[in-house]
Amino acid sequence: MKKGNLIYVFLVALLIIIGAYLRLDNLGKINFQNDEFFHVTTAKGYLETKTFVMWDFLENKSTGDYIRAFPYTWLVAQSFRFIGISEFSGRLPSAIFGILLLPFIYYIAYKITGNKLIALLSLLLITFDNSFIWSSRICRMYSMFVFFAMLASYLLFKGMEGKNKKFNYYYLVPGIILFLFSYLIHEATLLLGLGYLVYFFLNFQERRFKLLAILSFATLVIFLIIHFFIHPLTTNEFFTIRTHPNFIYFLYPFNQLHLGAAVGWLVIMLGIFLWEKKFAIKIYYLSMFLPVILFFVFIGERYAAKKYLLFLIPFILILFLDSFYLLLKRIISQKNFIYYFVIILIFFGPIYSWPGIAKNLYFQPARADENYQNAKLHNFIQAYKYIENNYLNREPIVIQGRQSYYFSRHDLNFISLKANKEFTVADLQKIITENNSGWVVWTKYKEKYHVNDQVVKHCEENLQFVKDLEDTNMLVYRW
């Protein structure tokens, strides 16, 4: 092996090791949070019943079905089965797919650009991107979804761009299977269909793509008919024209770079005119992510979040690096080009994340360094233990989002605050009148938004806030 190749192998291996450390370090340090409980309780329910039902750890019974992302939940259940139920084992499947993504990023970047340096730098960006680190450190389906959505899209390209302009079914069939599997992990996979529709019409002059364009358009029409008139295939939020566009989706792909989104998109647009090698696959991925971003910006009345775009961001960053490389190559002399390119990218490029290093110009807080207060997380163990230690016989605990996994006493008297802000001040006052003492509990950054605003105000003004739990981000009131 040549010396240059040996250096690349060493650097790739080093970045993968670093990426694995960033995704595994203190993985079980923080309590389960928010939507993680869907998978945690359902994994426990699966172990108990062999069906995907959420499980109440206190009452030891099912509380309802949860089939969303069931392949991921099944993996969590297996992790619980062999390692035991804990924060570490619950998040381990996400960490594994987050780590597997790293060598795949290098591979796919090289296949898209044919450039080992671009592949290495693409790996660098994803290794330190806090959003990809985050998705690997929570018990949610996102890292698994990113891996399979990317793999499926690549196999489908290989299958459609076979030799002699014929389909290669050795790639196409596995690509279709993995595409459907990716849909089972997250319904956002269907949005790639918009990308395929654009790609087929861009290649409409070729007979095979003409047929695919017609078929994909017909499939979209059939999908919409089934969704609206027979049975919904996804949430209706996906098909609402926004009154206020989510332009923040244009910022998400580049918010880990000092260069900023405006420069990032400009570089990609200018780079298109310089693409020579690997033109077909670059147009393919440009077709994949642009329609989906526009969809998120203008359609779907759902709060904006980078996590919904994670499965496309690697492709955006790869094309950005490739375009950046080609543009600088036209400006800087060939002799020292590589050195200038790397220096400029590191200086204006990624914001790194590393445990133990304070936030500054180049570093951001590492996920492994998170604490409950600063990261807006909830310390259920400390808050629930305080309640259990100070609980009086049969006191009502009026609670929103009771996480039974972190309670241990079976004699607690829970009363639900109900969903959709249905619990009123009158309901609370009736409970207070009938009981000399009791508790009101909800989380500060999640469930509070499901609590009636008047109930929130009443508790703040009339009940005693438990200051001993101020650092837990749990809002616990006493009367």
Does the pLDDT of residue 477 top 90, yes or no? yes
- Residue 464 dihedral angles phi and psi, to the nearest 5°: -90, 120
Residue 139 makes CB contacts below 8 A (sequence gap 6+) with: 32, 36, 39, 40, 76, 90, 91, 93, 94
Q: 299-313, 397-411, 442-456 — which one is most confidently predicted on average? A: 397-411
Query: How confident is the model over 317-347, as pLDDT tens digits?
Result: 999 999 999 998 888 877 778 888 888 887 8
Query: How confident is the model over 218-235, as pLDDT tens digits?
Result: 887 887 788 777 877 666
Distances (CA, A) of 190 to 146, 182, 185, 310, 439: 13, 9, 11, 14, 45
What's the rounded mean pLDDT across residues 467-472? 92
CB 182 within 8 A of CB 175: no
* Dist CA 448 CA 72 (whole Å): 28
| H or E element at residue 363 | strand 363-364
* Dist CA 479 CA 463 (whole Å): 6
CB 323 within 8 A of CB 276: no
Length reported for the chain: 479
Q: Which amino acid is at 200?
A: F
- ∠ CA(182), CA(188), CA(190), 5° rounding? 75
CB 131 within 8 A of CB 256: yes
Query: How confident is the model over 168-186, as pLDDT tens digits?
Result: 889 989 999 999 999 999 9
Residue 363: strand pairing partners? 352
Query: How confident is the model over 259-307, as pLDDT tens digits?
Result: 889 999 999 999 998 887 888 888 889 888 999 999 889 887 778 889 9
HSE at residue 445, side-chain half, CA atoms within 13 A, is 15
CB 450 within 8 A of CB 419: yes
Distances (CA, A) of 61 to 64, 74, 413: 9, 19, 17
Does the pLDDT of residue 239 top 90, yes or no? no
* Dist CA 90 CA 36 (whole Å): 9
CB 133 within 8 A of CB 367: yes
What's the rounded mean pLDDT across residues 53-70? 92
The token duo for 2 is: 């040549």
For tokens 């060598």, name the residue.
103
Residue 237 makes CB contacts below 8 A (sequence gap 6+) with: 300, 301, 302
Does the pLDDT of residue 448 top 80, yes or no? no
